Structure 1
Amino acid sequence: MHPELPDSTISAALGAVLGYIGAEAATTLAFERLLWPQRFFSRLNVWSAFTIALLAPMGGPLHKAALNTLDVMFARGLLEGPQSGSMLGSAFFPELDRWSYTMYGDGRAPLKTEPVRNALFPRALRRMPLPFMGPSTTSQAALGVAENGTAVGRPVRARVAVSHLVLSRASAQDKASDLPLVSESALLPSASVILGIFISELSAVAVAVIIASVFDSFWCLLWLVPLVLRLLSAVFSVDRESLVSTSSNLAGDQSHDFEIHCPQTEGKFMLITGPPAIVVQFFRHYGHPVRSRSREVIQLGAVIILGGLFPLGLLCSTLWMPGPIASVWLCYQMYVVLVMHLVRYSSLAWASTTEVAIATELSRGLSCSNENEYDSSILFGQERNGMGTIKARVAVTYHNSYGAGKRAMDNLLSRPDISSPFAQLRQNMTGDDVSLPLVA
């Protein structure tokens, strides 16, 4: 520490450096979580609670992420007035960029190709982890032959999953079964969502309690501002469009295939089969905000204030805060900036989301139905006996290269029986395409 510089000057300099580093690391994910709490806090258990308590506070340098969020909203016309602009692609309703789907007709001819938009189930399939595959899982047909006649394994270029998801109306028998239900509220956040928000700011609450008890200072309120804003935003969050009723005749229409086109770097091939009335809603309107200008303004206000909270805190710590409290504020900002980097380069921040809940339940229920086929089923809806509740069944195979996965997808699309997941796939695959997974 320079002997001629006052502590406040040094703290201000450190705070400015932290603000720059943290602002570069922060993403708009924090504001997507703020504006859609029903999606991001729908799965609360011990692990997700622990994860969001460590990784989801919003008391750090979010000013750049807030500006990016507002820039997108401005570009889409959401700031112009009531019912104006488009929610799609904004933090209210983020979309999967560069993802699309192709719908196939009765004769397997492609009918149309469109963007997947928000696409809950492709997001969930994306979150399903690849199982660990040791050297012993390579099939005999995947072995080459060396000059001396011994078998040598072909190099594994990339682990690839081919997933076939079948969506259908949940029958009375399905609803009465022990199939796990993954639910997501379309209206006001539930009590578990509110609890999740409180848990996500637990670190700030703990610091506020310490400041109040040790220093007996009103500056403890500064740490509680993010929690208050997040709770206010949740209480006034916009409603979401819910599932269509599966009691309609449309839900019983003939099934179609929907091939998901995702970037090659994802290492996934996805096919969704089901009646268009059930499947297409996830590519169009499901989860879309129900427009309400008053609620939108309140949530936009929360974005703006949270974006300006760090500059305000830095100013207060430099000009008015007592030295020890300013040091605590600076240390807390160091923690939040570290968290921002962890969130940016990991998927841990998604632990409490609906898509991870779906992926976890599908992965947990995977059972081996054939040598290399694994399938699992769940229910999805606002409630178990709801009118829109659907059954989701997934079958998965795993492969050692992108080319092998592509061949598996082509075989799957050409199967004669559209209603039978993977019925003909295994017969059409050669042994060198498939590696046998070890599923825990």
Structure 2
Amino acid sequence: MTLRPPFQYDAIILGAGAAGLFCAAIAGQRGRRVLLVDHADRPGKKILISGGGRCNFTNVHTAPDRFLSSNPHFAKSALARYTPRDFIDLVDIHGISWHEKTLGQLFCDGSARAIVEMLLGECERGGVDLWLANPVTAVDHADARYRVTVGDREASAPALVISTGGPSIPRMGATGFAYDLARRFGLKVVEPRPALVPLTLGGDDVLFRDLSGVAAPVIARAGKAAFREAALFTHRGLSGPAILQVSSYWRHGEPVGIDFIPDRTKGWLREAKRAQPRTSLRRVLGNHLPDRLAETLAERIALAGDIGNLPDRQLAAAEARLSDWRFTPNGTEGYAKAEVTAGGIGTAALSSQTMQAKTVPGLYAVGEAVDVTGWLGGYNFQWAWASGWAAAQDL
């Protein structure tokens, strides 16, 4: 195969997801000649399926402490310089209607397609060239220029941006390409792992799979992290927003604690004993939890008979267990069900101001490819916008 003469650009951006599209648009509008490359046949595929198809495009409560990274300070600069308000203003300019759900999460009123069309419109304004539907087959660096081969075409530029994300949701074409490329240029990679992902149960906890479909508001804990949202039992284990949140903090072999009665104060079972001495623990729990869950928990606690006949110390022990029920997951549902990837290109190798590699001039990394992972609820999109914007200011 004979390559055509190289196309010359100021910057080549690999990956037409959220961070790549936004970075390309901003750089193009700053007068840079930009090429955006993606192996998929359409840009923004993950955006289209996000938020149940409505795209949870940011979170008004964005703050650095809602992101995981080996360097918890790394995200501060980018997040401070491009804020949720900045992106909301862009959404408003394009006439996209949106609404706020719980916990500061902003969603499109209509389809997530509106966000992709907005980003493509911004790229068009910046004169960005888009090469789709062919994988990158070679990346070389010589004479202060990066040369990228895509199909039978080759492009070159003094700047290269890695924005190909992580391996989460492989059915969408996600791979570890970003990490392979980073390592080629001598950048360290923090071990990637699935994040915002359902947890699987085995052993003594396997019977809870029988509760598949049952959900309840809880406080879930893993390590020092705690989240109050809904938990959902599945045919494989635990899911729901509270579980997805703590999954990012969970490590294999560690327990996850669940407070099934987060609104009850200490001594509530003793109060129930005095108010309803002739009722069972299962019925008391049924006043606060779905019936099937109440029945299963009562069976595991194994306090038979009316609560009026039970000593206070047994009720106190039951309370303690219900407020910190320990599950030990045997794993996660993996990248196939993970919303994002934790870990990635190490931040120690990057400038927090520009996202450029400190030892490789002209090489940048943005978005999910970097070791910065947000909470569930629009935080990862805001990191994509902020990191993409930061890099674009330097291109």
TM-score, normalised on structure 2?
0.26
Q: Which has the higher strand share?
A: 2
Ranked by relative contact order (alpha carbons within 8 Å, sequence separation 6 or more), the top structure is 1
TM-score, normalization by structure 1: 0.24
Q: Give the structure with the higher percent helix.
A: 1
